[in-house]
Amino acid sequence: MTGQSKKKLLVLDDDAGVVDFLCESLSELGYDVTGLTAPREALLRIKTDSFDLVITDVEMPQMRGTELLSAILGEKPSQLVLLITAFGSIDLAVSTVQAGACDFIAKPFKIETLVSAIERAFRDRQIRREIVRLRKVSPLDAPEQIIAGSPAMRRVLATARKAAGTDSTTLITGETGTGKGVIAKLIHDSSARRDRPFYQLNCASVPPTLVESELFGVRRGAFTDAKEDRDGAFVAAGDGTFFLDEVGELPLEIQAKLLHVLENGRVRPLGGTSEVPIKARLIAATNRPLEPLVREGNFRQDLYYRLNIIRIEVPPLRERREDIVHLLDLFLSRACERQSRSLIGVSAAAMRRLVAYHWPGNVRELANAVERAVVLSDHDALLPEDLDLPKNGGVEALLAEGADSHIPLEEIERSYVRRVLEEHGGNKAGAARILGINRRTLYRKLKG
Ligand SMILES: Nc1ncnc2c1ncn2[C@@H]1O[C@H](COP(=O)(O)OP(=O)(O)OP(=O)(O)O)[C@@H](O)[C@H]1O
Ligand SMILES: [Mg+2]
């Protein structure tokens, strides 16, 4: 026999008329149906034969559907059983699902309702079979749980540990959401300063007019708003670590003052007369690469050299896809715990999508996508549609989608060319160089 084999169903109801009707309707729809009216006989058949799905009435004189259910599952624990309940016995139905039935439908029902319940049962089983067994996250020796299984991240951790053994100024770079904050904290927590303060200042979230006093402190009366003395970040960090985040956002004149402070090892608050020695260790971070800013004259070169003593580059998530599964495992268990749900799995299709996506927002985007998917999902596994990831993200995703939906190579090429062009702010010469083609070819490929 060729083609897909028919699904074998067993229909059980004490009403022979109902059995006949269901057998006839379901056979017409292409199922291989056996109809029975006696539960004991059904139980025997289930033992000796194998059915893809058993559809049974709950209320029967000989044996209640619930007893039958436990007898079936006692015999065949993974047997799919769909229950038909009388209207008004929903509580019973719910408890039977909890007892292991795959679903129930209430009488009276339309045949289409039954068919969709049957199909759903098969689909859910397929999903369960496809669930990717996620490995348990192994407790890493890092204080917080930092996932770093990929060679690239292991190198990052190794450099971070070395940095922790020194007092040298450290510059952490990497796209948004790659984990720069996590690495800064790791350095502090693994350093001799771990019991001292960890003081963080984000230059992007402080208005430019206030950055100066936040950094260096202010003495009462220095300007109209300065109603009292306030310590700046360098003093607040004491002999701990000062984490200066988004350093690329610092206005040029403050950059000059910062350099002066770092060179002298002393800080003078605004409006103050005396200088205070600084003892804090400085870690700076930025998601804007500083080198182009230096070239454009928007970041002081001398300050750049002063910060860039130990350099840690946190790679984007798409360059360390091995980490995705482990991060997913961590975020999934966190999200389920937070939302008081039992742990759910990930369908193979969703996993393919997660691994192929290009993650412009990196680890943070993954964490948010998982959290949202757990809220939206009402299955026991995440499906691709729960993830709600933008389409056509990344060439790998494009290729994965292409394989599923038969996209012509030309179209994949065109989308990729467009993406490279977008990433380079529409700079055609730059995009052509990266793609290894000349500009004329680039135009041609864009037009398609
Ligand atoms: N390797 C990792 N293991 C576990 N969690 C991580 C890892 N990297 C990042 N995270 C988590 O991802 C989120 C983003 O990380 P973080 O805030 O450190 O990124 P960032 O690079 O500082 O981003 P931004 O540039 O926007 O400031 C945080 O919730 C963090 O806990
Ligand atoms: Mg950060």
Q: What is the 3-state secondary structure (H, E, C) of 345-358?
A: EECHHHHHHHHHCC
CA nearest 6: which of 21, 24, 26, 36? 26
Phi, psi of 396 (to 5 degrees): -65, -45
Side chain identity at 123, as an amino acid letter? R
Residue 76 pLDDT: 85
Query: In what side-by-side order are the strands of the sheet with 281-286?
Result: 198-202, 241-245, 281-286, 170-173, 310-313
Residue 302 pLDDT: 97
Ligand 1 centre distance from Cα of residue 413 (Å): 32
CA distance 347 to 380: 9
For domain 8-130, the CATH architecture is: 3-Layer(aba) Sandwich (3.40)
Residue 395 pLDDT: 56
Phi, psi of 22 (to 5 degrees): -65, -40
For domain 151-315, the CATH superfamily is P-loop containing nucleotide triphosphate hydrolases (3.40.50.300)
The burial of 250, by beta-carbon neighbours within 10 Å (0-12 exposed, 13-18 middle, 19 or more buried), is given as buried
Ligand 2 centre distance from Cα of residue 234 (Å): 19
Ligand 1 centre distance from Cα of residue 326 (Å): 14
Q: Which atom of ligand 1 is nearest to the CA of 174?
A: 21
Q: Is the dihedral of CA 113, 119, 122, 123 positive or negative?
A: negative
Q: Which atom of ligand 1 is nearest to the CA of 175?
A: 25
Contact 176, 182 (CB under 8 A): no
Q: What is the mean pLDDT of the chain?
A: 86
**Is 320-447 a domain of CATH 1.20.1180.10?**
no
Residue 36 pLDDT: 95
Task: Please tell me the residue having the least CA distance from ligand 1 atom 12.
Answer: 364
Give the angle subtended at the CA of 358 by the CAs of 356 and 363, to the nearest 5°. 105
Residue the block writes with tokens 């209640």: 64
Ligand 1 centre distance from Cα of residue 249 (Å): 19
Query: In what side-by-side order are the strands of the sheet with 81-85?
Result: 32-36, 8-12, 53-57, 81-85, 103-106
Q: 277 - beta bridge partners? A: 266
Whole-model pTM over 0.75: no
- Number of CB atoms found within 10 A of residue 239's CB: 12
Residues, beta carbon < 5 Å, ion ligand 2: 181
| Domain ranges (residues) in the chain | 8-130, 151-315, 320-447
In the chain, helix, strand, coil percent, each to 5? 50, 15, 35
Domain 8-130 identical in fold to domain 151-315: yes
Residue 426 pLDDT: 76
The burial of 72, by beta-carbon neighbours within 10 Å (0-12 exposed, 13-18 middle, 19 or more buried), is given as buried
Residues with CB under 6 A from ligand 1: 145-148, 174, 176-182, 287, 327, 363-364, 367
Residues in the chain where the model's pLDDT stays below 70: 1-4, 87-91, 93-94, 127-144, 224, 226, 391-408, 425, 448
Alpha helical stretches, state H, 145-251? 151-164, 180-189, 208-216, 233-236
Residue 242 pLDDT: 97
Contact 158, 165 (CB under 8 A): no
